[in-house]
Structure 1
């Protein structure tokens, strides 16, 4: 209920109590000196409380929002101490026998209450000082926070975020970022004490008259960094979402300079990774468009279906796909059209934006383009890495984000990054493709729309996945590429044998993890759910896939399990093959059956069925049902 009261109402109680204590203390007939000393302390408190009453008016004169958390907390504590003082001085109102009944511990009580009032004086003095921004941030400890200094620091920095000068706000955001990085308890305190809304406001930078000034950029970077350090679990991510932070984040990502986009894209990646609701909210705000645009910065896409005057860029692709995506929302009347520099340009909406607003966005976009052209290659690389990571986390398990990436022709951009980039950027793009493919595996519409083999984007991605698999430079790159191919197994027609060869080759990879992923991918080609399982099974045999598969059976338990499943499908599809007979596939299944079934009882029926099928073509081998101990 206290939170529902206005600040004036919260302050009125202790002010009234202070007046009552002062009056009662001066009317006391016993312990007069002690009561007068208390009255002096209470008078000091009364003056400070009345000064606090003027803080909302001071904030409103400066068009600022007063940060109330420390005021409410400290004033509530002051009220309790004043109530104790009032109870004590009222006991001293009369002398005589009645006084003696209640005065056994009077001296100790006066000392205790005096100490409490002195602590309240210290708290109020500190409280008023943190709103005196001319003297900088007060990092001294008030008595109320003597056992928990973090609390007072969070209060001081958050108050500065609300009401300080631009440079001071930047410093306060950096301090909160540092505190949040230390431990989860600090993060919780920052959230509980209302530190997130002013950080979002600083990030949005709505009140800045110079949107591209150095201070503005530093402030936005500091705010994004602080938020990134805070949102390390789902609850805190959800708090940012509930505080309507997602539209602000997307707006800043669209409108900001490259240096700001880096921490903001990192923030998007972390929030999307930790909370599916955040993924949905980012999809609603169409965050993939500015991410794809920044990822494609300075990249020429030369697909013939999208050529204009011999060459094209991601901007033209986005424009071509513009009719399939929703316009970015803005906080002013009108709509956004999407620019190649990742910024929004005000258009004619139903209400029509003001000329001042339009001028701001034209001015801002122009400066962003200029800044982007002049930025160093190192910074451009960093923003690409961050945007690729954000796309990776956004697409994971998300149909809507995966669809939006493909609708903006993001697959062409990702293919280009995989082809020409290295290290983290290449890996992030591969992981994005893998996650989109994983979503498409379970969604026929997306699979047909985005990965149709005849479409240029799908062909470009497929070419790069096969190249990565065949190059074999890094298993960390091969594994996501193999997984992506496996997820798309039902996309490839029977005649597309060029896919099977590279996967079969990886069955013999020295890295067991890579070989096992190849087995997992191949079993998706030959499982009964794949319409072309028979043709794919024959292709595996033609590429001599049985010998490396037999070898993989003898690897670790994980590899053995997936190898047995792949072998079972081959046995069911092409059990009459000489390759399986020569490799003694039935004996291999018998040897691995017990351990595999022990780990995965659900595979028992598949293994029995495969062994039954193999015995039809391998006479002289005992029937598995005659050897029940095997399973």
Structure 2
């Protein structure tokens, strides 16, 4: 079945139309030799003759369009031609039964007037389909959108609307194409079934072609919106990728109007969110660089403008070259200020570049903010589960940009940047080489990121922001030296947070500092106890199951690695762990850890008792 379908799809459109024409001519010849039901056969011949004329009209249209190398939307032509061929086959079979000359053959064939009535209904439906198809082809070429309903789509009106809109997008004039793309976006927004029909009827290639209309931002926005509505599951995203949509989207992101770039960034975020494979497709097109450049558009200028009064022209040229090398774009004349614009005009780039950046300067701040939000969301989705994209973000100075946006911005932009940092640190935790490269202790971007993470943890009372910040610090646990006690102090302070999710996340992060996988686990464990983590942990164990789990793990690490501790003794950690030993049956991975911690504490108690007994004995002997 699948092989036959593939062969049918590979047929030329002219071949699809030639078969029903051939059958129609056979029906016409068979009617001439009919011996019975001549009146009914005559009616059949009239309708078949009309169908034959329509088929030839469509063939002429297809031939002319192909010869002129104009776009042609073939899906409705193929579907209607196949349905028409099926009805003509019925007509030919019925008319042939009327050719029998003997009474015996007529009795065997059993032709009735009801058979002709049923056949005429089928032929009328084909005539209606062909009229609708011709109207679509004529109207789209001259301008306009047809929304009438052909008989073939009488049970599913959405199908005819989808055909009409896609045909207009592929073959119509620009204004009609924009309107049709907006209508298609509305249909796609309504239901997943409509999305499926649009993709099955080959609606993605015309939308991608419309997305390339750089002369019309409205067309690009309409196409990007429709594609964004379609790209909400793996299969449909794969269709966009397989139709070579990724290079088109990246190109649009790099050199389009700001509104179009916002839509393109949204589309990138949606595609990578629902298709993990798309991460690598976008990585091959180097999409991270334009996203970082757009995210840091006006930030680049603010960092340098304070230094201008101390710089000479040669230094300004060097700054420009450095920024172009780092961000791959032209430098705005705003960098120079009014006093430097004349002397530096030869370095600032072409007039086209200047107009491009000046246009951005005059844009609505709300639009600028929305573009940054979309770019940050796209970077977040690209970095999620992808070490290669995370590396690219750090290599394009993206870390500094993200840190500054976390510091200065609020709301959705701040959250998206924070989530991007969280994904980068997660990738760094799983890849030692990347971790050592991107988060060196003397790296300014790494320092900036850590500073902002600690600020969020300490000063921002928002679990939505604190949880990713804590998780990021936990992922970087193996990068902090023992002297960096303010990191563990910040996490310990969150063990008493009134939000149990934040407290649980802090316990989990501290567990990464105290676990044996961390080279400095002994030093970190002692520091955690010194910052009075044990009392807060004991309170945390009375919360929900998640907090109990993370709290027990951290408590076991502290008991195993911190040596003798007054805090552990005063909190009666041994008693708590012995009680928890019966409660961790649901978590088999914890049994061994809890058992080791209990054994270690018992041994410490026995050693301490032995030391006390020997000291007391020596004291008594001396007194005697």
What is the TM-score of this pair, normalised by structure 1? 0.87
Give the whole-Å Cα distance in 2 for the aligned partners of 1:533 and 1:301: 43
Once the two structures are overlaid, the 10-residue window that deviates more, 430-439 or 143-152, is: 143-152
Is residue 604 of structure 2 the alignment partner of residue 614 of structure 1?
no
Q: Which residue of 1 aligns with 2:422?
A: 434
Q: Secondary structure at the match of 1:130?
A: helix
1:264–1:173 CA distance, 2 compared to 1 (3 A): same
Give the whole-Å Cα distance in 2 for the aligned partners of 1:568 and 1:83: 80
Q: Choose from 182, 192, 199 the match for 1:191.
A: 199
C-alpha displacement at 1:221, in angstroms? 0.8
Q: Which residue of 1 aligns with 2:247?
A: 247
C-alpha displacement at 1:505, in angstroms? 0.3
CA contact (8 A) 1:29 1:92 kept: yes
Q: Which residue of 1 aligns with 2:590?
A: 603
C-alpha displacement at 1:260, in angstroms? 0.5
Q: Choose from 8, 13, 21 the match for 1:2.
A: 8
Q: Which residue of 2 aligns with 1:59?
A: 65
C-alpha displacement at 1:18, in angstroms? 1.0
Q: Which residue of 1 aligns with 2:343?
A: none
Is residue 296 of structure 2 the alignment partner of residue 292 of structure 1?
no
Q: Choose from 17, 21, 37 the match for 1:11.
A: 17
Give the whole-Å Cα distance in 1 for the aligned partners of 2:474 and 2:166: 50
Give the whole-Å Cα distance in 2 for the aligned partners of 1:385 and 1:314: 27
Q: Which residue of 1 aligns with 2:89?
A: 83
Give the whole-Å Cα distance in 1 for the aligned partners of 2:221 and 2:8: 35
Give the whole-Å Cα distance in 1 for the aligned partners of 2:82 and 2:294: 50
In the alignment of these two chains, the number of paired residues is 579
Q: Choose from 177, 182, 186 the match for 1:178.
A: 186
Q: Choose from 136, 144, 148 the match for 2:156.
A: 148
Q: Secondary structure at the match of 1:218?
A: helix
Q: Which residue of 2 aligns with 1:204?
A: 212
Give the whole-Å Cα distance in 2 for the aligned partners of 1:117 and 1:340: 67
Q: Secondary structure at the match of 1:232?
A: coil
Is residue 52 of structure 2 the alignment partner of residue 46 of structure 1?
yes
CA contact (8 A) 2:463 2:499 kept: yes
Q: Which residue of 1 aligns with 2:535?
A: 547
Matches within 5 A, 1:492-503: 492-503=480-491
Q: Which residue of 1 aligns with 2:99?
A: 93
Give the whole-Å Cα distance in 1 for the aligned partners of 2:37 and 2:555: 97
Q: Which residue of 2 aligns with 1:461?
A: 449
> Structure 1 unaligned runs (5+)?
206-210, 323-336, 342-360, 623-631
Matches within 5 A, 1:24-423: 24-60=30-66, 63-95=69-101, 97-98=103-104, 100-102=106-108, 104-132=110-138, 133=140, 134=142, 136-205=144-213, 211-212=214-215, 216-300=216-300, 319-321=324-326, 338-339=329-330, 365=353, 368-423=356-411
CA contact (8 A) 1:300 1:314 kept: no
1:318–1:614 CA distance, 2 compared to 1 (3 A): farther
Is residue 553 of structure 2 the alignment partner of residue 565 of structure 1?
yes
CA contact (8 A) 1:451 1:491 kept: yes
1:363–1:158 CA distance, 2 compared to 1 (3 A): farther
C-alpha displacement at 1:560, in angstroms? 0.4
CA contact (8 A) 1:434 1:484 kept: yes
1:6–1:103 CA distance, 2 compared to 1 (3 A): same
Q: CA RMSD in A?
A: 2.4
CA contact (8 A) 2:100 2:106 kept: no
Once the two structures are overlaid, the 10-residue window that deviates more, 101-110 or 450-459, is: 101-110
CA contact (8 A) 1:255 1:364 kept: no
CA contact (8 A) 2:293 2:329 kept: no
1:462–1:151 CA distance, 2 compared to 1 (3 A): same
CA contact (8 A) 1:273 1:393 kept: yes
CA contact (8 A) 1:230 1:236 kept: yes
Q: Which residue of 2 aligns with 1:629?
A: none
Q: Secondary structure at the match of 1:507?
A: helix
Give the whole-Å Cα distance in 1 for the aligned partners of 2:331 and 2:461: 34
C-alpha displacement at 1:261, in angstroms? 1.1
- C-alpha deviations, 1:214-273, integer Å up to 9, x for none? xx1111111111111111111111111111111111111111111001111111011111
Give the whole-Å Cα distance in 2 for the aligned partners of 1:76 and 1:475: 60
Q: Secondary structure at the match of 2:28?
A: helix
1:581–1:320 CA distance, 2 compared to 1 (3 A): farther
1:142–1:48 CA distance, 2 compared to 1 (3 A): same
1:402–1:473 CA distance, 2 compared to 1 (3 A): same
Give the whole-Å Cα distance in 2 for the aligned partners of 1:621 and 1:38: 108
Once the two structures are overlaid, the 10-residue window that deviates more, 136-145 or 111-120, is: 136-145
1:315–1:424 CA distance, 2 compared to 1 (3 A): farther
Q: Which residue of 1 aligns with 2:570?
A: 582
Give the whole-Å Cα distance in 2 for the aligned partners of 1:317 and 1:617: 60
CA contact (8 A) 1:255 1:365 kept: no
Give the whole-Å Cα distance in 1 for the aligned partners of 2:307 and 2:82: 69
Q: Secondary structure at the match of 1:499?
A: helix
C-alpha displacement at 1:184, in angstroms? 1.6
Give the whole-Å Cα distance in 2 for the aligned partners of 1:308 and 1:252: 34
C-alpha displacement at 1:368, in angstroms? 3.6
CA contact (8 A) 2:406 2:452 kept: yes
Q: Which residue of 2 aligns with 1:505?
A: 493
- Which protein is richer in helix relative to its size? 2
Give the whole-Å Cα distance in 2 for the aligned partners of 1:274 and 1:72: 32
C-alpha displacement at 1:620, in angstroms? 11
- C-alpha deviations, 1:512-534, integer Å up to 9, x for none? 00001000111101111111111
1:139–1:310 CA distance, 2 compared to 1 (3 A): farther
Q: Secondary structure at the match of 1:616?
A: helix
What is the TM-score of this pair, normalised by structure 2? 0.88
Give the whole-Å Cα distance in 2 for the aligned partners of 1:171 and 1:14: 34
Give the whole-Å Cα distance in 2 for the aligned partners of 1:418 and 1:91: 81
CA contact (8 A) 1:314 1:413 kept: no
C-alpha displacement at 1:113, in angstroms? 0.8
CA contact (8 A) 1:317 1:408 kept: no
1:50–1:310 CA distance, 2 compared to 1 (3 A): farther
Give the whole-Å Cα distance in 2 for the aligned partners of 1:621 and 1:609: 18
Q: Which residue of 2 aligns with 1:330?
A: none
